[in-house]
Amino acid sequence: MIKVGIVGGTGYTGVELLRLLAQHPNVELRAVTSRSESGMPVSQMYPNLRGRVDLPFTEPSLDNLGECDVVFFATPNGVAMKQVPELLDKGIKVIDLAADYRLKSPAQWQQWYGMAHASEHLLAEAVYGLPEVNREAIKTARLVANPGCYPTAVQLGFLPLLKAGLIDTQTLVADAKSGVSGAGRKAEVHTLLCEAGDSFKAYGVAGHRHLPEIKQGLAHISGQDVGLTFVPHLLPMIRGIHATLYARLTSDVADLQALYEQSYANEAFVDVLPAGSHPETRTVRGANMCRMAVHRPQGGDTVVILSVIDNLVKGAAGQAVQNMNIMCGLPETTGLNHIALLP
Amino acid sequence: MIKVGIVGGTGYTGVELLRLLAQHPNVELRAVTSRSESGMPVSQMYPNLRGRVDLPFTEPSLDNLGECDVVFFATPNGVAMKQVPELLDKGIKVIDLAADYRLKSPAQWQQWYGMAHASEHLLAEAVYGLPEVNREAIKTARLVANPGCYPTAVQLGFLPLLKAGLIDTQTLVADAKSGVSGAGRKAEVHTLLCEAGDSFKAYGVAGHRHLPEIKQGLAHISGQDVGLTFVPHLLPMIRGIHATLYARLTSDVADLQALYEQSYANEAFVDVLPAGSHPETRTVRGANMCRMAVHRPQGGDTVVILSVIDNLVKGAAGQAVQNMNIMCGLPETTGLNHIALLP
Amino acid sequence: MIKVGIVGGTGYTGVELLRLLAQHPNVELRAVTSRSESGMPVSQMYPNLRGRVDLPFTEPSLDNLGECDVVFFATPNGVAMKQVPELLDKGIKVIDLAADYRLKSPAQWQQWYGMAHASEHLLAEAVYGLPEVNREAIKTARLVANPGCYPTAVQLGFLPLLKAGLIDTQTLVADAKSGVSGAGRKAEVHTLLCEAGDSFKAYGVAGHRHLPEIKQGLAHISGQDVGLTFVPHLLPMIRGIHATLYARLTSDVADLQALYEQSYANEAFVDVLPAGSHPETRTVRGANMCRMAVHRPQGGDTVVILSVIDNLVKGAAGQAVQNMNIMCGLPETTGLNHIALLP
Amino acid sequence: MIKVGIVGGTGYTGVELLRLLAQHPNVELRAVTSRSESGMPVSQMYPNLRGRVDLPFTEPSLDNLGECDVVFFATPNGVAMKQVPELLDKGIKVIDLAADYRLKSPAQWQQWYGMAHASEHLLAEAVYGLPEVNREAIKTARLVANPGCYPTAVQLGFLPLLKAGLIDTQTLVADAKSGVSGAGRKAEVHTLLCEAGDSFKAYGVAGHRHLPEIKQGLAHISGQDVGLTFVPHLLPMIRGIHATLYARLTSDVADLQALYEQSYANEAFVDVLPAGSHPETRTVRGANMCRMAVHRPQGGDTVVILSVIDNLVKGAAGQAVQNMNIMCGLPETTGLNHIALLP
């Protein structure tokens, strides 16, 4: 059994990790920490876990985490970068679901997250945890930076075209839509039901924190810098991301559908739908899955890719468990075979 | 492995059965029938099942169902009563998720469902599949009438008080609220998103089909006829039933909380929350669970019970699988350990 | 033109007052105050008011409010009771949308709102602003306590039966459901879209602040104390209250439908639906209207009344404008003829 | 008073027309027709209109419509083209909210709508009713083709850039999202709450009927053919369209914000938000208004325009009333000053 700890278990990625790990056949939950709720039973805050998670929240100390094999950070940005070094020193593997180790450049981190990096010596070592791109490196990683939700949907969508070198990399467009759970469980006015419900808007058009992460990832995949316009939007629902991606073909291509199907033929968690499909976010609700479809409207030279994930699963907790499985030598799908809840 | 067939797999109880059975360790899905969609792959209609259910819909014939050990009917009311007899004759166990075998009186069936009963000789034999009441009879049943969604939430809520004989049985009130999936997947105006969304209403106040079923069940539990006012309402959401139950105490009772906790101490799928709780439907979303709380406002003689289920799980498909487990001698929780999806 | 000020214009009752008053033909908006947002244009916070309300938020001082004829308080409970006396002294009429002047007993105020009353000498004078009950007193009032949202729906629903003396007043049940906007625009976890959305729960079963207000109102209508069980619930939507009311008949009554129709025949803002109807909250969305239906299920002695309002309109801002019209001698419907937005 | 008839009043554009016209100071409603519901009071189907619209639905005959000054068609596509000629012959002005007269080419009509045009001699005469483009022609029109909802939001968004000749007209992208009411009130599975709720998807990527309409409109505005990729999506809510538009600058431009503000300075129903804004659909809910913002992310050469309307108002019924006002010589804003319902 893998002994697992979660730092910052009160947020939505935390409770989703708990849902997945409590049903994982090879995991023993040892500690769930929360500075603010220390002492409260986890299942009091999240009654869906009654009878399944019997731990209380505890202080995020080495006393509580020191005997874990793997520790997940489900904390706000800027927390993990301070606590990770001592865990690694103890030989504990770390998977950070926040952004702390995603950007390779400490200057970019400071620019987009507004604080100096507290452990920038680890940035080079940290492996970006997108298994479909970095599986080999993840196998041996001590520290995995779990990708953001938008970056997962966008990178998986563009990947086959970029690898094949078929598109203009300077004029990419990602029009992405997210459920409100992506904003977390903080008490804020703009995510109240009466503000975010029954309405729709874009946000962060001038620049969203996931932009540098996506550009870094796409550049890594394609081997060159990319130009990307990224517009996130807020959907009046809880879970789900839909990325609508636009790229211009520079070479002719016989069969986009085949290209996509072949690219992901061996991936358990990427599902290329039949030609002409329109994936719905509900088909991945609660499941560690990215479903996508590729279109070429009216046979023109613009390709449209539709890519959906559950932002809390393949976009966060599920992908983190997928990374844990890889790091621990388990079959990648262990504990991740949930079927999406539909309707 | 239990060889299982589903008759009428295109509706919401059908797809929910498929979700549960496809993950059940002792089940082999043999046939999913649909007269209208015969030939279409099941996963084309329900892409959440891609890679998990590889069957096509087939005709509901003995050819397709004859080798099953258990057949579930997820058909509209009035279908099972015609087809069940020949399946029973073949030695196949049947669990009917429709209403065909729930009412013991053929006259009541005709009154509330508007048609003569096609196999009323089976009404006496059919076991009402509420395990918390009829577990022993279910073990040996050939034919189980799976309870309705409202009846499940209401009966489990009143049960401890009725068994203890503490309340006036003539003035019961059940104010119940259901998500729209309870109405099924038929194309009808009143369940369109633009009709049922962002609004709330009561319906069927003059008399709802679940009224005689609930009264029959409560009478069975209490050993006497009951008087019940039942008002169902439609919630602007997909899954979930919340029953708010009102009863008047006739005897004083030392500790209602203890009464409820003891009544359900050995039940895996009924969870009595701590005193003062208010169960949320989301804490059972996707899970085979009834959570409830009991209140006595201002210490008066009115008891208020709050009882929540997922209408598609403990209110339909999950309870049906629970019944199958009991009928087949499996541990009752087999394949039913899903944790509710929250948020 | 009536010169109008609003104290506390940043909340949902504030913006709804602004929507109604900006379209009112006899009103000139003079000041909208907010301590926290002083200086910000109102239409920056609420872009639906762009081009219609050109005022900035200002400090809630006599300088800003002193020249008003009428001042509305849309502040949290406990604010108006401190500021109202000096406005009344200036000869300004006040309509308080908070609870400060609703309860006649200062002891009850302290018990339910947790603070001593700052101007209890005004409690006797303050008129409870339910026009269908207190129209004559409102005409000459200096200070009107605008009713709460639940109390409006519940009192209007029970009124005809209580006035006619047909029901047992000791066993009333009000099972009420409210949209989330009733909780205001405060940043709190439990009203986040991811907490209150796609779910349903009861709350405050042990005792809700509207309970003493409703009981006081029902006692006033019936001329005797009443026994009431009041269970509020939170709907996963923004606007709308649906009260489902239960009462036991003590006398036989020839025609409940006629009783209700006659009771409200002269009321512009109460609409008794035809026999057998089920009012939907969406039929009053944005409109100053209470629609209701009366049922007697299975001809028994339990009466069920279904009563719907928009909690922000007939349950708050609309009723406040209705009171202003009455206090200022305008036709009661002036500026209140909006048709509900459906769908 | 303008005597007005509505053909096909049972759908969502019909009831929205009724809401607006019942409150219009210069309109007298004479007939609301529906073949299927003939005889039923309009307010029985739409209780929000109780006390405001006293007409029953009637047959769509000249007997019923012959004395109208203006007739609106809120019928399915293909109905108006058969009935309009005889109304025009009677001297009645017609505003068609369906697509029958939007496309100038009868071949395109046949291609996209799958039927031959029944009155193609009127296509040249029909004026495309987008007042911000065709106001002068509308003034004297007998027959106005009211624009589609997507086309309104998209054309108004691109208009300033196209008129100024600043962008590459061959690589336009319109990523548009619509509430479900755009699909009408037909009983269909895909618009059930349980299908369209709590989920998000694209549809019609291969080609949507609004594509040729938008391309025709943009070509008219820019004076040349345009290349457009148009991807519509379905939002889990009732009302509102959000178009996110992408264009590549070909010339440098000093001040996009000023360009947009000046373009619409004299338009009552187009509101350019301050620089940096993100319009929300709720700020136009129920209002005849298009709000928009223009962005140039990271100072690059991609312009992003965000444009929101209520699909039933500025995208249908409201714009139709705006056209009626223009055709009848009334001030354009008459009866259209509703403030959006927020929250």
pLDDT digits (tens, 9 = 90+) for C302-327: 999 999 999 999 999 999 999 999 99
Tokens encoding B278: 């208010």
Which residue in D has a C-alpha nearest to residue B180's C-alpha?
A: D194
Question: Could you tell me which chains touch chain B, where touching means 3 or more CB pairs under 8 A?
Answer: A, C, D
- The shortest C-alpha distance from D36 to chain B (Å) reads 15
Q: What's the mean pLDDT in B22-32?
A: 97
The pLDDT tens digits for C156-195 are 999 999 999 999 999 999 999 999 999 999 999 999 999 9
- The shortest C-alpha distance from A131 to chain B (Å) reads 20
- Residue A70 pLDDT > 90: yes
- Residue B9 pLDDT > 90: no
Which residue in A has a C-alpha nearest to residue B285's C-alpha?
A: A48
Query: Cβ of C198 and B246 within 8 Å?
Result: no
* Global pTM value: 0.98
Minimal Cβ distance to B175: which of C227, C240, C244: C244
- Residue A252 pLDDT > 90: no
At D9, the pLDDT band (50, 70, 90 cuts) reads confident
pLDDT the model gives residue B283: 98
Query: Cβ of D341 and C291 within 8 Å?
Result: no
pLDDT the model gives residue D65: 95
Mapping DSSP to helix (H, G, I), strand (E, B) and coil, where does residue A16 land?
A: helix
Q: What's the mean pLDDT in D181-200?
A: 97
The pLDDT tens digits for B52-94 are 999 999 999 998 899 999 999 999 999 999 999 999 999 999 9
Query: Cβ of B280 and C201 within 8 Å?
Result: yes
Strands B70-73 and B93-96: parallel
ipTM above 0.90, yes or no: yes
In order of their start, the domains of chain B are: 2-125 (3.40.50.720), 150-311 (3.30.360.10)
Which D residues 76-115 touch A at CB under 8 Å? Answer: none
- Of the residues C149, C194, C290, C328, which is catalytic? C149
pLDDT the model gives residue C252: 82
Query: Cβ of D48 and C271 within 8 Å?
Result: no
pLDDT the model gives residue A307: 98
- Residue A116 pLDDT > 90: yes
Minimal Cβ distance to A198: which of C187, C191, C238: C238
Is residue B12 within 8 angstroms of chain A, CB to CB?
Answer: yes
Interface test with C, best of B225, B229, B280, B307 (most C CBs within 10 A): B229
Interface test with A, best of C15, C192, C195 (most A CBs within 10 A): C192
Minimal Cβ distance to D189: which of B185, B196, B237: B185
The pLDDT tens digits for D266-304 are 999 999 999 999 999 999 999 999 999 999 999 999 999
- Residue D135 pLDDT > 90: yes
The pLDDT tens digits for B98-156 are 999 999 999 999 999 999 999 999 999 999 999 999 999 999 999 999 999 999 999 99
pLDDT the model gives residue B72: 98
SS3 sequence of chain C: CEEEEEECCCCHHHHHHHHHHHCCCCEEEEEEECCCCCCCEHHHHCHHHCCCCCCEEECCCHHHHCCCCEEEECCCCCCHHHHHHHHHHCCCEEEECCCCCCCCCHHHHHHHHCCCCCCHHHCCCCEECCHHHHHHHHHCCCEEECCCHHHHHHHHHHHHHHHHCCECCCCEEEEEEECHHHHCCCCCHHHEHHHHCCCCEECCCCCCCHHHHHHHHHHHHHCCCCCEEEEEEECCCCCCEEEEEEEEECCCCCCHHHHHHHHCCCCCCEEECCCCCCCEHHHHCCCCCEEEEEECHHHCCEEEEEEEECCCHHHHHHHHHHHHHHHCCCCCCCCCCCCCCCC
Query: Cβ of B188 and D187 within 8 Å?
Result: yes
pLDDT the model gives residue A74: 97
Query: Cβ of C191 and A193 within 8 Å?
Result: yes
- Residue D252 pLDDT > 90: no
At B252, the pLDDT band (50, 70, 90 cuts) reads confident
Mean pLDDT of chain A: 97
- The shortest C-alpha distance from B76 to chain D (Å) reads 16
Q: What's the mean pLDDT in D102-130?
A: 97
At D254, the pLDDT band (50, 70, 90 cuts) reads confident
- The shortest C-alpha distance from B239 to chain D (Å) reads 9
The pLDDT tens digits for A151-202 are 999 999 999 999 999 999 999 999 999 999 999 999 999 999 999 999 999 9
Minimal Cβ distance to B197: which of D187, D189, D193: D193
Query: Cβ of A187 and C185 within 8 Å?
Result: no
Is residue C275 within 8 angstroms of chain B, CB to CB?
Answer: no
- The shortest C-alpha distance from B50 to chain A (Å) reads 8
At A9, the pLDDT band (50, 70, 90 cuts) reads confident
Chain A with chain C: Cβ pairs closer than 8 A: 60
pLDDT the model gives residue B211: 97
The pLDDT tens digits for D31-48 are 999 999 999 999 999 999
Torsion over CA: D317, D322, D328, D334 (sign): positive
Minimal Cβ distance to A197: which of C185, C188, C193: C193
**Does C68 participate in catalysis according to the annotation?**
no
- Residues of chain B found within 8 Å of residue A286, distances taken between Cβ atoms: 286, 341
Is residue D199 within 8 angstroms of chain A, CB to CB?
Answer: yes
Question: Could you tell me which chains touch chain D, where touching means 3 or more CB pairs under 8 A?
Answer: A, B, C
Which residue in B has a C-alpha nearest to residue D12's C-alpha?
A: B194
Query: Cβ of D242 and A202 within 8 Å?
Result: yes
pLDDT the model gives residue A253: 81
Question: Could you tell me which chains touch chain C, where touching means 3 or more CB pairs under 8 A?
Answer: A, B, D
At A325, the pLDDT band (50, 70, 90 cuts) reads very high
Stated as kind and residue range, the H or E segment containing D113 is helix D106-113
Minimal Cβ distance to D201: which of A173, A198, A278: A278
Percent of chain C having pLDDT more than 70? 100
Percent of chain B having pLDDT more than 90? 97
Tokens encoding A291: 């479903």
Query: How many CA atoms, within 13 angstroms, populate the side-chain half-sphere of residue C233?
Result: 30
Query: Cβ of C271 and D51 within 8 Å?
Result: yes
The pLDDT tens digits for B286-301 are 999 999 999 999 999 9
Minimal Cβ distance to A173: which of D173, D281, D343: D173
pLDDT the model gives residue B316: 98
Q: What's the mean pLDDT in B236-256?
A: 95
